[in-house]
Structure 1
Amino acid sequence: MTQPTDAPGPTQSGPATPQMRPGRQLLAASVGNAVEWYDWLAYTFLATFIAAEIFPKSADNSLVPLLSTFAVFAVGFFMRPIGGLLLGAIADRRGRRAALTVTILLMGGSSLLLALTPTYAAAGLLGPVVLVIARLLQGLSVGGEFAAATTFLVESAPQGRRGLFSSFQYVSTTVGQLIASGVTALLVAGIDDSAMHQWGWRAAFVLGAVLSLVGFWIRRSSEETRSAEQQAAPRPGLFEALRTHPRESLLICGITTGATIAYYTWTSYLPTYAQVNVGFDKGDSLLIGTISLAFFALLQPLGGLLSDRVGRKPLLLTFSVGFAVLCVPLLNSITQSFTSLLLVQCAGMILLTGYTSIAAAVNAEVFPARVRASGIGFPYSATVALFGGTAPYMGTLFKDLGRPEAFPWYVAVLCLISALVYLKLPEGADKPLER
């Protein structure tokens, strides 16, 4: 029988082992997560160069554009939930550290495979096939990273600091995104267009593979966070979390629904939304996106610290109710002014911090230690794929249907649904975490 979460006991106080060094644990999770997201997002920033070499417009084989479409959708909407399920199960069966080393090696290997992908001119259809396989592997890795890193971070936190440690999940994710953008910008500025098409885009993925080895080395020196009792217990089955904790699985979906659409809208899609709907300058919108992401990263530890003092629910409700009420007026207030978009994006980042800074802690506090990683991994990744990954598509669809004003309402309604879930969510900040 699982020990009650409010009962005293050695499995619920402090780090999982007396030798655990929280600073090293935080570094292992954060550096590795940043590398994961650099590798994942570099493809997005380099897509135009990759497409020209691997999916040329002049290709005669009709399977080429089909494979291109398959690569985008299969990775974003299929492999991440599978990664959350499989690698989350590894984290519960073999340990958090084992899962984290698997995810980063998988990401490094797939990045190297991307760098070595043959062009369509050199190898024909083999080039697109290799590219698709590499992106599928990256999707598998990213899907497992959140589940494993979430449990590792929160279980490594000293008592009363779970919110702070949780915040580094999105600090490192944002840092990885900024590095990917920065490396791409430096390559484009430093070499000519011909060199970018020949080898420049490949260099970014070689760098990612090297950084993955660095992250692997750092993670190898970290400590396992499962207690000795959990390590000695029978290993859970692949679907045990879904089978034995269906309510908690649905709760993860409700917690994530509004947050993921708000996150992808504000951190990824907003520059495009401004370009499409008000004719905003492309260069300025991307600059604003970079500034706001840096601002967003700085906010995360503040949100985590605040949640350790006042609890998780006040921040979650501030985020969800704030977006439900303000999303429509904020998006409708965007003009062609640089200041207007900057203020809208930063205002959204402040509200969004109410969720992102504590997402890892909130999710980890839902499940018992035995199935914590797998319990989080699948429902979280599936919800992100369904609502977060489709945010740009839905925004474009509403525009194509002649109803662009409907998209802000769509985001607001999903955030309102999550607000109702947060109202019923038990407060976890003041309870020890089962180890």
Structure 2
Amino acid sequence: MSGSTQRIGADPIAGARSRKAIYAATIGNVMEWYDFGVFAYLAGALALNFFPKENPSSALLSTFLVFGVGLVFRPLGGIVIGRMGDLRGRKPALILTILMMAAGTVIIGVLPTYASIGVGAPVLLLAARLLQGFSTGGEWGGSTAFMAEWSDPRRRGFYTSFQQMSVAGGSLLGVGFSALLTSSLGVEAINDWAWRIPFLVGGLFGPIGLWLRREVDETPPFQAVVAEGDAGESSTFTHALQAFGFTILWTVAFYVFLTYMPTYTRTQLNLTAAQALWASTASLLALVVLIPIMGALSDRLGRKPLLLTSCALCFILPIPAFYVLTQGASFPVVVLIQIVFSLAISLFSGAGPAAIAEIFPTRGRSTWMSSSYALAVAIFGGFAPYIAQRLIDLTGSKMAPTGFVMAAAVISFLTIAGLRETAHAPLR
């Protein structure tokens, strides 16, 4: 099996096929995560349209709860679609995920509001979000396995970092488009009707992503596993536990520092809606640039040094950074601090996709990696905006989210410290 991956780097034709497959998966992934992320960036408008307006704080919490509950379906999607990826191939699983995500996104864009149908509106919103969550459960692990198995083993960190770069890129498109609409149309229009536009635009990505993913080949390691039959090493529950602990900080940092921050800076720091979105746009742009640099660096230095440094930074930085934010920081300072958070996340997101794929043998990689990663995201990441907002409401302190991030950093640091270095080893 390792021979099939080694040939990717040695054979120019195989190398060209590898790059084509990775780039196609990356572009499709950008489209997928735009659809998924735009929900959080328009949380304020969704709260006004799908929940009673009498209590804005309660409506916002309810919206974040729907965001989190939607991610509860990620483990189920990881198991079902991941299993499909292990039995029928990575390619058909990735085609299914992008079609499901496009459908869920269009549904949100055309839903009637609470003012029109009452309690049926949030119920339908939740149903659409569950469909999106099921899709992402299979997408993340499937695309990570696909990229890892198509990568030149000497540059696996760099090529698999495109997976996280595309996650950040999709989120960047979502927040950037939301910021542009908010700046050009105004908050009133966004809250009234224009919130639908990003969701409807997202639905157009489905046919494009389908075409891209149908044009690529199945991965050589998967084909080798099919040829081997029942022989060879299989993924185990121990591998899944390692991946679960590995993922906790990754998902908490992403959802607190990036997804939740537009709401935090608007509601707690009194930035305008447009300023909050533009600050997050800047931080996501920095992340998109930094991730492949860190992925390439992990091929030289190893995965663990970058991962452990990220954990350390996410333990050290939150208290001083949030203290500065809560002391009346100006808009440029808010942008700078969010970019610093992006730097800390990029260390993890650059090395992380290769490192988590390398935990698992190819046989069962898609199922076990998808489900363990998705379970950690569902518990700790999907509810991160809700937990952060709830901690602030309960304690009355704008600093409250820092404890959540720091605890996650400790858990992931201990997990990663116990893993072997896999940067220069062939896939099993």
Asked if Structure 1 and Structure 2 have the same fold, meaning a TM-score greater than 0.5 normalized by the shorter chain, the answer is: yes
Q: Contact conserved, 2:292 with 2:350, CA < 8 A, in 1?
A: yes
Q: Contact conserved, 1:11 with 1:227, CA < 8 A, in 2?
A: no
Q: 1:169 aligns with which of 155, 163, 180?
A: 163
In structure 1, what is the equivalent of residue 20 of structure 2?
Answer: 24
Q: 1:100 aligns with which of 94, 97, 100?
A: 94
In structure 2, what is the equivalent of residue 6 of structure 1?
Answer: none
Q: 1:115 aligns with which of 109, 134, 141?
A: 109
Distance in 1 between the 2:226 and 2:3 partners?
14
Q: Give the letter aligned to residue 252 of structure 2.
A: I
Q: SS at 1:222's partner residue? A: coil
Distance in 2 between the 1:108 and 1:412 partners?
35
**Map 1:20-419 → 2, pairs under 5 A:** 21-55=17-51, 57=53, 71-76=66-71, 78-119=72-113, 127-188=121-182, 200-225=194-219, 226-232=221-227, 245-274=236-265, 279=270, 283-334=274-325, 335=327, 336-399=329-392, 400-402=394-396, 404-419=398-413
Q: Give the letter aligned to residue 82 of structure 2.
A: G
Q: SS at 1:161's partner residue? A: helix
Q: Indicate how the Cα distance of structure 1 residues 333 and 165 shifts in structure 2: closer, same or farther if over 3 A, else same.
A: same
Q: Indicate how the Cα distance of structure 1 residues 362 and 65 shifts in structure 2: closer, same or farther if over 3 A, else same.
A: closer
Shift of residue 317 of structure 1?
1.3
TM-score (normalised: structure 1): 0.85
Identity of matched residues, %: 34
Alpha-carbon RMSD across the aligned residues, in angstroms, is 3.2
Q: Contact conserved, 2:68 with 2:382, CA < 8 A, in 1?
A: no
Q: SS at 1:431's partner residue? A: coil
Judging by fraction of residues, say which structure has more helix.
2
Q: Give the letter aligned to residue 333 of structure 1.
A: V
The answer for unaligned runs of 5 or more in structure 2 is none
Distance in 1 between the 2:150 and 2:388 partners?
39
Q: Which deviates the most, 350-359 or 225-234? A: 225-234
In structure 2, what is the equivalent of residue 61 of structure 1?
Answer: none
Deviation per residue, 1:228-275 (Å, 9 max, x gap):
331245589xxx97xx61211110111111222222222123344455
Q: Indicate how the Cα distance of structure 1 residues 27 and 409 shifts in structure 2: closer, same or farther if over 3 A, else same.
A: same
Q: SS at 1:425's partner residue? A: coil
Shift of residue 162 of structure 1?
0.7
Q: Indicate how the Cα distance of structure 1 residues 246 and 178 shifts in structure 2: closer, same or farther if over 3 A, else same.
A: same
Q: Which deviates the most, 321-330 or 288-297? A: 321-330
The answer for unaligned runs of 5 or more in structure 1 is 4-8, 59-63
Deviation per residue, 1:370-414 (Å, 9 max, x gap):
111111111111111222223233333333224554542332232
Q: SS at 2:160's partner residue? A: helix
Distance in 1 between the 2:265 and 2:400 partners?
15
Q: How many residues align?
A: 416
Q: SS at 1:314's partner residue? A: helix
Shift of residue 156 of structure 1?
1.2
Q: Give the letter aligned to residue 108 of structure 1.
A: A
Deviation per residue, 1:324-367 (Å, 9 max, x gap):
23332222232322343233222222122111112210110001
Q: Contact conserved, 2:153 with 2:424, CA < 8 A, in 1?
A: no
Q: Which deviates the most, 316-325 or 370-379? A: 316-325
Distance in 1 between the 2:180 and 2:274 partners?
15
Shift of residue 313 of structure 1?
0.9
Q: Indicate how the Cα distance of structure 1 residues 198 and 291 shifts in structure 2: closer, same or farther if over 3 A, else same.
A: closer
Q: Which deviates the most, 361-370 or 225-234? A: 225-234
Distance in 2 between the 1:68 and 1:366 partners?
35
Shift of residue 32 of structure 1?
1.0
Shift of residue 130 of structure 1?
3.5
Distance in 2 between the 1:246 and 1:303 partners?
29
Q: Indicate how the Cα distance of structure 1 residues 364 and 396 shifts in structure 2: closer, same or farther if over 3 A, else same.
A: same
Q: SS at 2:359's partner residue? A: coil
Q: Indicate how the Cα distance of structure 1 residues 392 and 224 shifts in structure 2: closer, same or farther if over 3 A, else same.
A: same
Q: SS at 2:154's partner residue? A: coil
Distance in 1 between the 2:281 and 2:175 partners?
8
Q: Which deviates the most, 402-411 or 328-337? A: 402-411
Distance in 2 between the 1:302 and 1:433 partners?
22
Q: Indicate how the Cα distance of structure 1 residues 131 and 278 shifts in structure 2: closer, same or farther if over 3 A, else same.
A: closer
Distance in 1 between the 2:363 and 2:178 partners?
41
Q: Indicate how the Cα distance of structure 1 residues 82 and 196 shifts in structure 2: closer, same or farther if over 3 A, else same.
A: same
Q: Contact conserved, 1:92 with 1:235, CA < 8 A, in 2?
A: no
Q: Give the letter aligned to residue 36 of structure 1.
A: E
Distance in 2 between the 1:219 and 1:423 partners?
36
Distance in 2 between the 1:197 and 1:286 partners?
15
TM-score (normalised: structure 2): 0.86
